[in-house]
Structure 1
Amino acid sequence: MNASRPVRCLLLRPIPTRPASFRSRPFHSSSSHSARRRPRSFNVKTADTGSSPPLIEQFKPYSEAEKAELAKHYSPEQLKAIEAGEQAINPQDLLYQGELRQDPFGLKYLDDLSTIRPVIDKPVRNPESNYDPNLRLKNEDEIVKDFAQWVKDLPAEPTRLDYMKFMDKRRMTVGSEKAERAPTSALAPKLPRINDPEIRYAKKDKDEDPSLVRLMQQTGFTSKDLKKIRTKNLVCHPVVNQTRMGKIRSWYYLTIAGNGNGLLGVGEGKAAEPEDARKQAELRAIRAMEPIQRYENRTIYGEVKGKVGAVELKLMTRPPGFGVRCQQYIFEMCRLAGITDLAARSSRSRNPMNTVKAAFQALKKQRLPEEIARARGLKMVDVRKVYYGGLV
């Protein structure tokens, strides 16, 4: 080693540190977090271009003339609220975050906050209510008094129908009710039977399947709606039941049904003949169809988990163009539900029947931004900013 050359001790040099970065899975199709909200730089002077001054210089306090003009449209209390809002808002935030959003979760208004939106606003009691604010429930003595008066007014031979009419007409409150409410009556009207000719359903053919007509009556779908529903048999195998008379053989079918636009159902059927079991499973799947929430009509909201028996799986959202990358049973369910971007990871058991049930359970467990906002008392845009990376 050359003695004339100075030696630097590496232990005395400061070690450069980098801020910790946490990699997160994207929930939407916009750019990554590092590519957004970068400070805007003005390289060209305003005096050279002759254009208007930067946006941050345009947010100035109201002048006396402007306040006088605002006083013509707003009350003094509203003017104080406007001035307090101006002082609370930082112009720098308006410069970098005050962008108009075009996504489905964006606000439908700019500065008109007088309209109450039930999804993102807290419920407000109607000030023009027709009910007495001093309305209260009756105590026990008042209820007993009403019952005693009803006993006095009973006919010579009372029946159970008289008691049911009394229960319908009685009042449990004391006060002036200006608006009449529709009471829930215990006297049910005459219910039509399945074969009642007054039920107007299309039955042009005499040879039409009666199970199809019954399905239309149970679900409310028309014949055109039922034709759009697609079914898929995922599991089919024979089963044997051991009894004292011997082995009884039958067939088991597991079928899914969906319209490709947010409806999905799972049904099971078992019969001695395979055709009867298949038909039974298809009808049960159509009757059990439920709406599946979809983000941008293509994927799910966040990550959801499902567990049935020994099957544990996780469904994850994916950006546009990713496709459906999972096992065949979940792939068919996504195809009938109208989900085009999804990833799934299954652990432990791979039982086909429990896999379908666990996936259907996970799809119904999605937490929507509206539910999170309502539970936390926040605006929906604030929830989407935290969980979905949207601009405010």
Structure 2
Amino acid sequence: MKVYWKKFNNEYIPKVVGKQPNKNMADDVGIDSSLDKRTPLYERIIKLTKVCRVVKGGRKYKYLALVVVGDMCGKVGFGIAKASEVQDAVIKSGHYAQKHMLGVPLGKNKRLIYNVEGKYNSTKVLMWNSREGIGIRAGSTIRSILDALGIRNAGAKIIGSRNPHNVIRAVFNALQGLCIRFRLWKYHC
């Protein structure tokens, strides 16, 4: 079996020659769709804020919750919700996150397939793999997303605004780009 390096989007990716025609090198990478009601989910509150609305009779206070939910096997989602009580806001945002989960293809040992970058407004996020035993070297917001995905060794850098709302959306843009690149790679190999 020979490995050739094929250039794709300014990066070299392996192309294996001398294998079975239907078997792909990326077949060990997959998205597990076995999410049901009994699966325990990782849930983390990223930001909890008290917001105020001024009306004619005075001020009305609500709570805004930003929550990340994942199954630690390649599915992750985030939700933002407001409610008059803290617990209600957390539950609402958790339900929204579960409904809108993103399946991310992971490599062996639950690692990122590529180095990825995502951008949202003035926030840019770079994520890459680290060698075994390093752990997650990232800010608390990105760390919680990578924990929810199940990734153990990775690094990340935030360039620009560190607002948690922007950071989460930039990370999810990067993960969606990773899914698209994986589909293209699987198609072309």
TM-score range, shorter chain: 0.7 to 0.9
CA distance in 1, matches of 2:175, 2:104: 6
Following TM superposition, where does structure 1 have runs of at least 4 consecutive aligned residues deviating by more than 4 angstroms? 105-109
Q: Is the 8 A contact 1:263 1:292 kept in 2?
A: yes
Query: Deviation per CA, 1:273-318, whole angstroms, max 9, x where unpaired?
Result: 1111111011111111121111214221222111222211111122
Structure-to-structure mapping, 1:153-232, within 5 angstroms: 222-225=36-39, 228-232=40-44
CA distance in 1, matches of 2:57, 2:121: 31
CA distance in 2, matches of 1:374, 1:272: 48
Are the structure 2 counterparts of residues 247 and 301 from structure 1 closer, same or farther at C-alpha, using a change threshold of 3 Å?
same
2:156 counterpart letter in structure 1? A
Shift of 1:229: 1.2
Q: Which residue of 1 aligns with 2:107?
A: 295
Query: Deviation per CA, 1:319-365, whole angstroms, max 9, x where unpaired?
Result: 32232100111111111111112111111111112112211221221
CA distance in 2, matches of 1:322, 1:221: 29
Q: 2:52 aligns with which of 211, 234, 240?
A: 240
CA distance in 2, matches of 1:285, 1:277: 12
Bigger proportion of residues as helix: 1
Q: Is the 8 A contact 1:297 1:338 kept in 2?
A: no
Are the structure 2 counterparts of residues 373 and 298 from structure 1 closer, same or farther at C-alpha, using a change threshold of 3 Å?
closer
Percent identical: 21
Q: 2:157 aligns with which of 335, 345, 350?
A: 345
Are the structure 2 counterparts of residues 108 and 312 from structure 1 closer, same or farther at C-alpha, using a change threshold of 3 Å?
same
- Report 1 or 2 for greater relative contact order, CA contacts < 8 Å, sequence distance ≥ 6: 2
1:330 counterpart letter in structure 2? I
Q: 2:75 aligns with which of 260, 263, 285?
A: 263
Larger Rg: 1
Are the structure 2 counterparts of residues 300 and 238 from structure 1 closer, same or farther at C-alpha, using a change threshold of 3 Å?
same
Structure-to-structure mapping, 1:141-156, within 5 angstroms: none
RMSD: 2.8
Structure-to-structure mapping, 1:1-392, within 5 angstroms: 109=19, 116-117=21-22, 222-225=36-39, 228-366=40-178, 367-368=181-182, 371-372=184-185, 374-375=187-188, 380=189
Query: Deviation per CA, 1:87-110, whole angstroms, max 9, x where unpaired?
Result: xxxxxxx9xx59xxxxxx86794x
CA distance in 2, matches of 1:260, 1:300: 13
Are the structure 2 counterparts of residues 295 and 253 from structure 1 closer, same or farther at C-alpha, using a change threshold of 3 Å?
same
Q: Is the 8 A contact 1:309 1:354 kept in 2?
A: yes
TM score, norm. by length of structure 1:
0.39
Shift of 1:223: 3.6
CA distance in 1, matches of 2:18, 2:68: 38
Bigger proportion of residues as strand: 2
Aligned residues: 169
1:328 counterpart letter in structure 2? S
Query: Deviation per CA, 1:196-221, whole angstroms, max 9, x where unpaired?
Result: xxxxxxxxxxxxxxxxxxxxxxxx95
CA distance in 2, matches of 1:299, 1:275: 33
Query: Deviation per CA, 1:117-153, whole angstroms, max 9, x where unpaired?
Result: 2858xxxxxxxxxxxxxxxxxxxxxxxxxxxxxxxxx
Query: Deviation per CA, 1:145-185, whole angstroms, max 9, x where unpaired?
Result: xxxxxxxxxxxxxxxxxxxxxxxxxxxxxxxxxxxxxxxxx
1:372 counterpart letter in structure 2? W
Q: Which residue of 1 aligns with 2:28?
A: none
Q: Which runs of 5+ in 1 are unaligned?
A: 1-93, 99-104, 121-219, 381-392
TM score, norm. by length of structure 2:
0.77
Shift of 1:245: 4.2
